[in-house]
Structure 1
């Protein structure tokens, strides 16, 4: 297959590109910074860029582009950038599809479990209700814009990622740092849920959605065994051989991070129901195994 990825040089995108190439597929990267002489990198979202003229026929388009929600305090300007970066990339991907004579068979568009309300008791599958906070509003708009591709007959998948665990990027390096310094412990109440996924399984879920024509609409990309924050922290400490004893009170995080503190102080218990129904097998279904692979493997 020929697969084009917007956001293909980022945290998840680079893992996905490697996985696709390892499986014999051709990868094209949509980027704001194409390199002269590199036909794999195709410019988009810049003045004069016409990626549809360079792409040629593609079997699948994957959109992972957007400003990270993990970096920087959530000022009003930052929140606007989180939203507009996703909408601009998604609208451009839909425009590219619309202008192509031969449409791709599928669009896999990144989304997030931040759509669901935070809860310590509910379990959300893909039919779960939407929340009404900032992240939920971003996801609703994001998915609505991506759904425009359906009007061109393109199967569309909204990949609702949980907390993606990786070695150098995402949330895990910050979570693991206090443990490495012998200062790890329960964050907030510790009862909030962490619905996580190993970055390799996140990439494998995208490939699975591309290859399986029966998969469409919302897909929860989370491991089947979420943990409460206190148990997730204990798992990090256990894998690193560090104690779990120094609590981080909610008020301290709220003072330090402002509204963004909700990412760690509140959570959702999310089930990968659709992936399970279609037979997806997780490489890392349990947190200890996933964390060992990321934190102590060379």
Structure 2
């Protein structure tokens, strides 16, 4: 693997992945939305992609998409979230399907929201998709890869859990009430959180780039998901802050809107990284206490 293209290369995962790959001697080419910048030009909104430049890389890691937490889930915002993922993925997958010579690997981001609310029941890559907006988005997102898969490209759908990093993403927002001394469980605290350390997100993506026989859905989560209350307790320990002030579900619904609060915070998934484990991937941070300590000090 000599050259890898990354969409979303300036984001939390994309930036960390780029740094790791370049440290290992891999040339990384960012997919950019301006013709004036260095990289591979593309625009999902305009349906434009420099296919000649894309053909020069060995693999594509597609991470770009509207943030789920960019604003309240109005109908317009939900449409932006869905379209940003589906249109961009369709554009890339379609281009790869047309190429006679080009990248033969597409790793596309997805999320454990695919499974819907699973309560305390374990799910893995063989489990059915669930209900709700996030499950709908994930199904459409993964389905948009089909043109590439049908043309013989190796497609991996990386279903990410909650990424533990203080540099951005969900954990950064979770840390704010703890800094103010009012952190604690959200809602009942019983809902499971399938989390994963940023180091393991990057490690798994690098591993997947090299494991040429692995394709299809892959759960990129720690093997040890925990209830929200246990996650809050571990985060409090990592930050040396109390974790005893619960945030009632109704307050989250008022602040974020009922649908967003329910799907992102008050419901959860207990997800097993079955295919990573069976393939021999070794987690750098399998336990939540250690992972959060590492994230907070970082």
Name the SS of the counterpart of 1:238 in structure 2: helix
TM-score normalised by the chain length of structure 2: 0.95
Q: Determine the C-alpha separation between the residues in 2 that align with 1:133 and 1:23.
A: 40
Q: In 2, distance between residues paired with 1:26 and 1:237?
A: 39
Match of 1:220 in 2: 219
Report the equivalent of 1:149: 148
The separation in 2 between residues aligned to 1:55 and 1:108, in whole angstroms, is 14
Corresponding residue for residue 109 of structure 2: 110
- Say if 1:97 and 1:103, in contact at 8 Å, map to a contact too: yes
Contact in 2 for aligned 1:51/1:96 (Cα 8 Å) = no
Go from structure 1 to structure 2 and tell me whether the alpha carbon gap of 1:48 and 1:266 turns closer, same or farther (over 3 Å shift).
closer
Equivalent position of 1:248 in the other structure: 247
Say if 1:33 and 1:199 are closer, same or farther in 2 by CA, change over 3 A: farther
Moved more, 114-123 or 218-227: 114-123
Change in Cα spacing, 1:246 to 1:50, as seen in structure 2 (3 Å) is: closer
In 2, are the aligned partners of 1:220 and 1:275 still within 8 Å (CA)? Answer: yes
Q: For 1:171, what is the secondary structure of its paired residue? A: helix
**Does the aligned pair in 2 maintain the 1:117–1:129 contact within 8 Å?**
no
TM-score of the aligned structures, taking structure 1 as reference length: 0.95
CA offset digits 1:1-30 (Å, max 9, x no partner): 211111212121111111111111011111
Aligned pairs for 1:60-209 (under 5 A) are: 60-209=59-208
* Structure 1 residue 129, shift from structure 2 partner: 1.4
* Unaligned runs of at least 5 residues, structure 2: none
Distance 1:220 1:47 in 2: 31
The Cα of 1:100 is off from its aligned counterpart by 2.5
1:19 aligned onto 2:17: no
Deviation, structure 1 residue 239: 0.7
**Deviation at residue 78 of structure 1 after TM alignment:** 0.6
* CA gap 1:90/1:50 in 2 versus in 1, 3 angstroms: closer
Answer yes or no: is the 8 Å Cα contact 1:103–1:154 preserved in 2. no
Map 1:48-63; keep pairs closer than 5 Å: 49-63=48-62
Q: Secondary structure at 1:285's aligned position in 2?
A: coil
Deviation at 1:50, TM superposition (A): 4.1
Q: Aligned equivalents of 2:231 and 2:111: distance in 1? A: 20
What secondary structure does 1:44 align onto?
strand
What residue ranges of structure 1 are gaps of 5+ in the alignment? Answer: none
* 1:165-195 CA-partner distances (Å, limit 9, x unpaired): 2222111011111111111112100000010
Q: What SS does the aligned partner of 1:197 have? A: strand
Would the aligned equivalents of 2:192 and 2:268 in 1 still touch at CA under 8 Å? Answer: yes
SS across alignment from 1:4: strand
CA distance in 1, matches of 2:55, 2:156: 22
Query: How much does 1:48 deviate?
Result: 8.7
Partner of 2:260: 260
Over the residues paired in the alignment, what is the CA RMSD in angstroms? 1.4
Q: Is the contact made by 1:188 and 1:250 (CA closer than 8 Å) also made in structure 2? A: yes
* 1:128 Cα deviation from its structure 2 partner: 0.8
1:23-81 per-position Cα deviation (integer Å, ceiling 9, x unaligned): 11011111213544x3xx22101759541122342211111111011221111111000
Worse overlay, 275-284 or 2-11 = 2-11
User: What's the offset of the Cα at 1:282?
Assistant: 0.8
